């Protein structure tokens, strides 16, 4: 009981500029987040079967934000990893429900860079042909912007200018949403880690 209580308290405390730090969807292995003040970086660990179908499992570091905004950061997976489709990036979410509406600017372990979304609570994620894929691969800098109901995704390799990946109109996201960093291992048995720095909101 003490272990479970300490794990819950550790997941709910603020980390760096983020006020909330928790697992979504009850993954088998608990995730975590650590802020290194010396270089202003975040080490985020997450498990989970996937962020797909009608429900998600991942670790989430987020704030509640209203109105329009731009979120930018550098992302890098730690280690070789187990699953090619482990995921990290920025996510905008209506709630912490496992089947919540959301849209994410996602970097996969194999370098695939894509914007994905779920339009309605409990709905299936969009099929691959509906997603917005980057022309390149292995981007380090990921940016997501909300302007009204339009969500824009941009990405860049280190030292290069941002490229527009695409945009999508999310008509069902509320004005106040959850916005932050995520990691999903794409395998419920393991935990993956990403280092994230130059985080700007």
pLDDT, one tens digit per residue, over 68-98 is: 999 999 999 999 999 999 999 999 999 999 9
CB count within 10 Å of CB 17 equals 14
Give 103-131 pLDDT, tens digit per residue: 999 999 999 999 999 999 999 999 888 89
pTM, two decimals, is: 0.93
The burial of 121, by beta-carbon neighbours within 10 Å (0-12 exposed, 13-18 middle, 19 or more buried), is given as middle
Contact by Cβ (8 Å): 45, 61: no
Other beta carbons within 10 Å of 45: 18
Name which of 148, 150, 81 is nearest 115 in CA terms. Answer: 150
Predicted confidence at residue 127, as pLDDT, reads 80
| Exposure of 188 in the CB half-sphere (CA atoms within 13 A) | 8
Q: Is the pLDDT of residue 4 over 60?
A: no
Q: For residue range 8-42, what is the model confidence (pLDDT) as tens digits?
A: 334 568 999 999 999 999 999 999 999 999 999 99
Pairwise CA distance, residues 114 & 97, whole Å: 23
The secondary structure of the chain in percent helix, strand, coil, rounded to multiples of 5, reads 5, 50, 45
pLDDT for the residue 16: 97
Task: Please write the tens of the pLDDT for every residue from 130-170.
Answer: 899 999 999 999 999 999 999 999 999 999 999 999 999 99
User: What's the token pair of residue 74?
Assistant: 């550098």
Q: What pLDDT does residue 13 have?
A: 82
Instruction: Judge whether residue 1 has pLDDT over 90.
Output: no
Q: Environment class of residue 118 by beta-carbon count within 10 Å: exposed (0-12), middle (13-18) or buried (19+)?
A: buried
- Model confidence over 164-187: pLDDT tens digits? 999 999 999 999 999 999 999 999
């Amino acid at each position: 009981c003490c272990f479970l209580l300490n794990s819950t308290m550790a997941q709910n405390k603020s980390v760096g500029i983020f006020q909330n730090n928790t697992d979504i969807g009850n993954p088998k292995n608990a995730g975590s987040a650590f802020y290194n003040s010396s270089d202003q970086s975040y080490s985020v660990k997450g498990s989970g079967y996937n962020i797909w179908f009608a429900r998600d499992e991942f670790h989430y570091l987020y704030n509640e934000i209203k109105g329009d905004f731009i979120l930018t950061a550098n992302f890098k997976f730690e280690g070789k990893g187990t699953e090619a489709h482990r995921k990290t990036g920025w996510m905008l979410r209506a709630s912490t429900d496992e089947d919540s509406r959301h849209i994410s600017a996602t970097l996969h372990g194999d370098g695939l860079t894509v914007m994905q979304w779920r339009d309605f609570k409990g709905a299936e994620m969009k099929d691959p042909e509906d997603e917005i894929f980057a022309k390149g691969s292995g981007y380090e800098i990921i940016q997501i912007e909300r302007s009204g109901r339009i969500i824009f995704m941009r990405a860049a390799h280190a030292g290069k200018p941002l490229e527009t990946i695409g945009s999508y109109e999310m008509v069902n996201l509320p004005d106040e949403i959850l916005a932050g960093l995520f990691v999903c291992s794409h395998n419920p048995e393991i935990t993956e880690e990403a280092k994230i720095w130059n985080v700007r909101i």
